[in-house]
Amino acid sequence: MHEPSEHGDGRAVDCPLVGVVATYLPRLSEFAFEPGLVAAVDQHAASVRDALVRPRRRGAGLGPGWSDSGSVRREDLADYVLGFTDRLAEAEWTEPVGYDFATLRLTAVCWLVREHDLLSR
């Protein structure tokens, strides 16, 4: 993936996370009204985080994609989102009124972006 352009303040302007956040971040406000949604999004966020943050192997140096900090990197999450949304486009997915696997996953991506402050740095 190419590196996102940044404003002088360090914010990514053409990062694919920007569009996902613009579309799905408002769904986080529904947490207050649907406790089951919190659990579902939390499970999706954990799955994405586990896929992106691999624990440091004992005795091995950190290579590309390896982290010992437990934090999600903007570049890794952006790559994940590009692949995920490409698969959705290939399947001709359309966003439903409620929640399905894809909307829960994309909402979880927004939660990770917010929790790790990935668009302000």
pLDDT digits (tens, 9 = 90+) for 48-75: 999 998 654 444 444 554 444 568 999 9
CA–CA dist 106, 111 (Å, integer)? 9
Q: What is the pLDDT of residue 5?
A: 44
Instruction: Write down the pTM of the prediction.
Output: 0.77
Residue type, 10: G
Contact 113, 21 (CB under 8 A): yes
Q: What is the DSSP string of 56-95?
A: PPTT----TTB-SS-PPPHHHHHHHHHHHHHHHHHTT---
